[in-house]
Chains A and B, each alone.
Chain A
Amino acid sequence: MVKELERVTGVPVVHICTIVPISLTVGANRIVPAVAIPHPLGKPDLPPEEEKVLRKKIVLKALNAITTPVEEQTVFTEPQLW
């Protein structure tokens, strides 16, 4: 999906996903690791406010990815958020 979206639109697409190797295999170009499969952008054991702060940091990482030029598949690991 990610790859086809990028092919059709020509705009950067960032994949937020937990199983990074799958994302690499299917060909996503910008990848941001997620927390866990059932809650990629959440951490239910955190208090709600802290959880939202974490979510915002992941989204900011994704936004950083779409403003970063890449030549090949890139996993945006830094900064480590959890």
Chain B
Amino acid sequence: MEKKKVRIVHYINQFFAGIGGEEKADVPPGVIEKPVGPGMALQGALKDEGEIVATVYCGDSYFGDNLEKAQEEVVELIRKYNPDVVIAGPAFNAGRYGTACGAVAKAVTEKLGIPVISGMYPENPGYEMYRQYMYCVKTGASAATLRQAVGPIVKLALKAGRGEEIGTPEEEGYMPKGIRKSYFHTERGAKRAVDMLVAKLRGEPFKTELPMPVFDRVPPAPPVADLSKAVIALVTSGGIVPKGNPDRIEASSASKYGKYSLCNIDSATPDKFESCHGGYDRTYANENPNRVLPVDVMRELEKEGVIGKLHDYFYATVGNGTSVANAKKFANAIGQELKEAGVHAIIVPST
């Protein structure tokens, strides 16, 4: 029996649609009723098993600036073509594009109940934000890696479009969706754990059932030569902020950090500071914020000449459920400022 041809709508941004670069990033959603740009490569690999019946595009800035509206508009355009599956991107490491692809995946999944396949570089924020809504193939950082991504994307699109069962990330070549699927294993957990341990002790390969995130390393910076001349900054993830939390830093999953003056402040007293952290009991920090941000003793050490100077500003965020990507982004911005300010060392108390 001949298999039904899978109907596909492809979502891409203005750049890949050939409309223009950054200067055209504010174009609203539109449709081209044929494969365009990367869609040509996808269509080539689909052969006659599937057909890209329409390409829906939207400018990345338009999407980002009108998130709700753009999602609705894109979904309405996709709905008209009654597809079996939607392919979004691939977005590689383009942050806005990846976020748009992810948002499209979420809206299509929720409103149309149609599976979505995408492709992104693992660090694309769109993957982390929307991974549960799509089968996202791992790509390289740039569009030069399109060719390698086409095969797995097309394979997943055909399977999903036909309503076939999609296997695990390893089997199918997509990145984990962060969804736990229960199934009966032939071996009980205790035996599997001991088997792994034995394999590890024997130096044999084994596959963990709970992979840990991988962190890269930074070589240690050289020490401060003369503390008595050093400017030292305080940066904390413990959520110490001026009373009232003027920047409204979130109690968890912080989306920002604050920069606050320490000029003429000899101690982080409870009348001026408080904790806005939602991940620990704030009683002690609110009673005496120096317990997290040691301004009192830093000032003493400054007066005693042990250190040259406490930097005029401290930086604070909340490290509670905050994504590694956000923490890195904050630290990058804070680091740039502290570098320009010429600080010699940084103390990071965390809770």
Chain A residues close to B by CB (< 8 Å): 1-18, 23, 25-30, 34, 37-42, 44, 48, 51-52, 55-56, 58-60, 62-63, 66-74
Kindly state whether residue B139 has any CB partner on chain A within 8 Å.
no
The interface on chain B, measured as residues whose beta carbon lies within 8 A of the other chain's beta carbons, has a size of: 58
Per-residue contact bits, chain B 178-207, to A (CB 8 Å; 1 contact, 0 not) = 000000000000000000000000000000
Contact A42 B218 (CB under 8 A): no
Contact A1 B224 (CB under 8 A): no
**Taking CB as reference atom, which chain B residue is nearest A68?**
B223
- Cα separation A71 to B301 with both chains bound (whole Å): 27
Contact A69 B301 (CB under 8 A): no
Per-residue contact bits, chain B 206-220, to A (CB 8 Å; 1 contact, 0 not) = 000000100111111
Contact B349 A63 (CB under 8 A): no
- Contacts A6-B220, A13-B346, A37-B280 given: A42-B327 contact, CB under 8 Å? no
Contact B294 A9 (CB under 8 A): no
- Cα separation A63 to B87 with both chains bound (whole Å): 54
- Cα separation A30 to B219 with both chains bound (whole Å): 11
Chain B residues close to A by CB (< 8 Å): 212, 215-225, 227, 230, 232, 235, 237-238, 280-285, 287-288, 290-292, 294, 296-298, 300-301, 306-307, 317, 319, 327-328, 330-332, 334-336, 338-339, 343-351
- Cα separation A26 to B344 with both chains bound (whole Å): 22
Contact B218 A6 (CB under 8 A): yes
Contacts of B220 in A (CB 8 A): 6, 12, 29-30, 70-74
- Cα separation A1 to B323 with both chains bound (whole Å): 11
- Cα separation A26 to B336 with both chains bound (whole Å): 20
- Cα separation A16 to B223 with both chains bound (whole Å): 17
- Contacts A5-B346, A15-B348, A27-B215 given: A42-B291 contact, CB under 8 Å? yes
Contacts of A30 in B (CB 8 A): 220
Q: Which 7 A-B pairs have the closest CB atoms?
A: A42-B291, A8-B335, A4-B331, A29-B220, A39-B284, A39-B291, A1-B331
- Cα separation A16 to B338 with both chains bound (whole Å): 19
Contact A9 B339 (CB under 8 A): yes
- Contacts A13-B346, A17-B349, A26-B215 given: A4-B332 contact, CB under 8 Å? yes
